[in-house]
Structure 1
Amino acid sequence: MPAAGGAGAARGQACGSGPRQARQAAQGDEVMRSNDCPRCQGSMTEGFIPDHTDSAVRKVAIWVEGAPEKSRWTGVKLGKKTRYEIQTWRCGRCGFLESYAKG
């Protein structure tokens, strides 16, 4: 499944805070956005991708700055790296996913 976004999105810049028009204008933490899919112009719905890594505890998946570093005990090292929860939008028509890590 395709996904969009990037380092700019993680820093809360207008280029990746929500579908389509969010790339054009942001006002503080509030973002003006369109619910139109950038691929087929279908309707986009906000959701999230759950993270099931802590046994029965469900969390929202996170984006972590930098390349992954392997850890023998925890899988990957996180240390003091910057982290943001991931917002995901799904098109009801074509299934396209667009993800953002707004800071």
Structure 2
Amino acid sequence: LANGIWGTLAVGLFAVDKITGTATGNGLFFGGGFKLLGAQAIGVVAVGAFTFCAALLVWFLIKQALGLRVSREEEIAGLDLGEHGSKAYPDFQGFLTK
């Protein structure tokens, strides 16, 4: 996440039109001002907002269709038993027992 944000914002800092052969404008460090950096920052925020909304929608649909919690009995017994059919730590004496 941080690497993608940095890579996107770095374009607004270090871009040089002469090198890239484009007319997007130079980055902040090469006399381009905040225009390109601002555009890149808006892109980061837009992608972040879209990703958050899409993930929230998927989470809500999964919660409604399948549920996100196990039963209380499975939680107390341990999820290793419910998921895999065996205890992960058979020698461990738990505090909660049936």
- Structure having the higher strand fraction is 1
Does TM, normalized by the shorter one, top 0.5?
Answer: no
The structure where helix makes up a greater share of residues is: 2
Shorter-normalised TM-score: what interval? under 0.3
TM-score normalised to the size of structure 2? 0.21
Rg larger for: 2
TM-score (norm 1): 0.20
